[in-house]
Amino acid sequence: MITVLTATYGYELAVVQGKLESEGITCFLKDDVLVQVNPFLSNAIGGVKLQVLESDLNKAIGVLKEIGSMNDIFDEQQEKTDDNNEIEKKHIINCPNCNEEIENGFDICWNCCYSMTENRIMDIE
């Protein structure tokens, strides 16, 4: 079985599951009962997964694209990726000594041991 969609709760996938089954695609909600019993575990286990047989994967993706589910997911993933890239860009600085990229907030360059606060190479033994 291959995961094609995930959601925090199984009921969020019920309509999509019904559509796939109406198209003759065998599907299964993995971890649905576990999340129903203990909803707080959903984030820890990666949510409820809508899975299809590997042989039905291409047909399932076609149906998901047709109903717009895949477009929404790809858009959300792209937005998250763009947001993460912006965050990473804001938190990267270059060492004045060796020009190595380091995360903002570190006082010492991991590459050359240059101290940002003392403006010199530290003797670390």
Q: Are the CB atoms for 8 and 43 separated by under 8 Å?
A: yes
Q: Are the CB atoms for 57 and 2 separated by under 8 Å?
A: yes
The pLDDT tens digits of the residues spanning 60-76 come to 888 888 887 655 544 55
Same-domain check for residues 60 and 102: no
The pLDDT tens digits of the residues spanning 33-43 come to 999 999 998 88
Structural domain tally of the chain? 2
Average pLDDT, the chain: 79
Q: Domain residues for 62?
A: 2-88
The pLDDT tens digits of the residues spanning 72-107 come to 544 554 555 555 555 444 567 888 889 888 776 677
Residue 120 in this model has a pLDDT that exceeds 80: yes
Same-domain check for residues 76 and 105: no
Centre a 10 Å sphere on the Cβ of residue 125 and count the other Cβ atoms it contains.
Answer: 3
Same-domain check for residues 99 and 83: no
The pTM of the full predicted model, rounded to 2 decimals, is 0.55
